[in-house]
Amino acid sequence: GENVEQHPSTLSVQEGDSAVIKCTYSDSASNYFPWYKQELGKRPQLIIDIRSNVGEKKDQRIAVTLNKTAKHFSLHITETQPEDSAVYFCAARSNDYKLSFGAGTTVTVRA
């Protein structure tokens, strides 16, 4: 099955700086890569996703890049704000339509 690795496990950034989270996947058939944000005590929520026929996608301060050859994808958050503090999960989906998740990255934005 699919194996998704996520790094780093924790990330502390100064407010206004950028944050980057990286994930790798093992199944070359994977074709859909969503990112979820989970605030403390709340449910994970989809914040951005990318499909395998696209290399980059941007939505305001967040962007995701995908390198299919290297089998890795990344989340970029620019101009970080305190409300960006949360746990972020990457995931990958292959032909069996299940999502496999990374272990999560705890992002702390320092004021």
Residues that bind other proteins (CB under 8 A): 1, 6, 9, 31-32, 34, 36, 42-46, 49, 51, 89, 91, 93, 97-104
Phi, psi of 55 (to 5 degrees): -95, -25
99, 42 Cβ separation under 8 angstroms? no
Minimum distance between the CB of residue 55 and other proteins, rounded to whole angstroms? 16
Judge residue 3's burial from the number of C-beta atoms within 10 Å of its C-beta, 0-12 exposed, 13-18 middle, 19 or more buried.
Answer: exposed
Minimum distance between the CB of residue 36 and other proteins, rounded to whole angstroms? 8
Give 3 or 81: the residue with its C-beta nearer to other proteins: 3
Minimum distance between the CB of residue 1 and other proteins, rounded to whole angstroms? 7
Minimum distance between the CB of residue 39 and other proteins, rounded to whole angstroms? 12
Give 80 or 93: the residue with its C-beta nearer to other proteins: 93
94, 2 Cβ separation under 8 angstroms? yes
End-to-end CA gap in the chain: 41
